Structures are given as structure tokens and as C-alpha cells.
Amino acid sequence: MQLSSILLFSAASLAAQIEPYPKLDDGTTIETFPLYHAEDQIALECSKRQIDTGEHFFNEKGDIIYIPFMDCQETKKPLELKYNVDEQIACTVKFEDRLYHLFQLYLHQDAPFTCRIPVRPDSGLYIPLDIQVRGNIMESHFDLDPNIAIQMFTDGDGTIISSTSFSTSVNTTRIIIGDTVKLNFNVIWTSLKKIVPEIPEQAQTTQSKLEQQKYITSYTLPDRRNQKVLYFFTAVIGALIGSVVTTVFLYKRLNRKLRQSYSDKLE
């Protein structure tokens, strides 16, 4: 079998096997739902866990139960993000008994701090947001890094692709049961670069070519090198424009002085 035939067969098999993610149980995919727009509010939900074992709570269907993120004293409601808005968010929480013991589990890595975010508004489709907190657990208290980064990734058109979160500082805050602590969230949004592979005509299945490409589309981080080149040329162009403006201004000023000097001599 020739190599070209093998590649065509592989491409056809790949297109037939890959399915869209995420999708509902009935097969509904994200294209059915509206897109996010700038500054749309996005609610965070986190898995409900037992404080003694860290195990999930499940509903009658066997699905993991998710509850709203902790209430922030600043807003009197759970933490929310704004779509495609980089921001610093202060969220002061009280570490009552339940929350205190949950954070002991998170810090000891007995259970992950697992949350989720809607891929699109009101879709019922989610992507995970695991928050990696760090600190030390002592007998009478625990030390927690209160500075947490949240990195969000979008396709640039109104759909959330992925997310991650982690502690970011090199200091901690001592916490005991009943303490009120301000958590500082640094939220950054990044638009990913879309990669759409070309499907050879011979490898297309009964699905349309666009449908196949949609299912095997992937995303990668933007090329920072191109951004640096753009910044360099922008700086150079700005410097050149500044030089031209300065030269013209100085020329006019010098010319005006020469004319004035010539007029004084004539008088």
C-alpha cells in the first residue's frame, strides 16, 4: 500500500472517530447556543465535596453536584468573571468550619479544587477550571497563598476553550477557623490561534468537509515572536513619526527666528 493511500485512510478514519467537545447527552453541541460578548458575567461553580473524605456529592442521576463559588463579602454574591476582561478581583471570604476543612483537603491534595465554567451562555456545557492553591497545613492552622491567577482561553469569537488557575506569590497568610481572608484573583484572557487542518478530497466521508474540519479543529497559544516583531515595528514607526514632527517643528521655529533677525537688521 502506498504512503499516500495510508495517509488518506488515516485522515478518513480520524474524521469519522472524532466527536465535538463538549456536547450534551442528546448530542447538542455548542454551535446551538449564543456567543459571549465583552463584559458578559460568567458564574463559577465548584463541585460539592464531603469535608471528611473529599468525595463528591451526587444527585439522583449519579451526576456530580456543583454549587456556586464562595460568596465574596465585597459583592455579597459568588465570584464572577467578565468575558474577555482582564481584571484584579478581591474576594474576601470567611473560613468557617466547612470551608476551612475543604481547604485543608485542597492544600494537602487529597481532593482537587474543581470548578467549571459555561463554554457559552446558558448552554449547560462546561469546561473545567481546576484551582491549584498552595500552602502548609499545621496542627492549629494552615498557611495559604491568597494570590491566585485565573487564565482564561477563548477562540476570539465568543466561546471559552479552556482555563486554568494557580497560586502566584511567594508568601502565605496564616488562617484558623473563623478567620476572614481576602483572596486576590488576577484574571487574564488570551485568544488562542485556531488550527484548521486541510482534509484531502479523497478522505472526506459522508459528512461535509466543513463539518469534518470543525470536529478536528484545535487551538494553540498565539505566537509571541510575531507579537514582538509587531511591537518592534510599531515602536520604530512611532519613533520615526516623532522625529519627523520634531524636525518640522524645529525647522519652523528656526525659520521664524531667522526671519525675525533679518527684519531687525533691515530696520
* End-to-end CA gap in the chain: 100
3-state secondary structure of 17: helix
Summarize the confidence of residues 171-194 as an average pLDDT: 93
Each residue of 93-113: pLDDT tens digit? 999 999 999 999 999 988 899
Burial of 185 from C-beta contacts in 10 A (0-12 / 13-18 / 19+):
buried
* pLDDT at residue 5, as a whole number: 46
Give the pLDDT band of residue 30 (cuts 50, 70, 90): confident
* pLDDT at residue 4, as a whole number: 45
Backbone angles phi, psi at 131, to 5 degrees: -100, 115
Q: Residue 88's beta-bridge partner residues?
A: 186
3-class SS shares of the chain: helix, strand, coil, % to 5: 30, 30, 35
* pLDDT at residue 134, as a whole number: 94
- List the strands of the sheet with 142-144, edge to edge: 135-137, 142-144, 173-175
* pLDDT at residue 239, as a whole number: 60
Closest CA to 20 of 9, 8, 32, 37: 32
* pLDDT at residue 7, as a whole number: 41
Single-letter code of the amino acid located at 212: Q
Closest CA to 69 of 81, 58, 86, 51: 81
Segment of 19-23, 74-78, 228-232 carrying the highest mean pLDDT: 74-78
More confident residue, 35 or 25: 35
38-47, 126-135, 138-147, 194-203, range with the lowest pLDDT: 194-203
Summarize the confidence of residues 244-248 as an average pLDDT: 59
Give the pLDDT band of residue 25 (cuts 50, 70, 90): confident
For the entire predicted model, the pTM comes to: 0.71
3-state secondary structure of 170: coil
Model confidence at 255: pLDDT above 90: no
* pLDDT at residue 257, as a whole number: 62
pLDDT above 70: percentage of residues in the chain: 66
Summarize the confidence of residues 158-170 as an average pLDDT: 93
Q: What is the DSSP letter of 62?
A: S
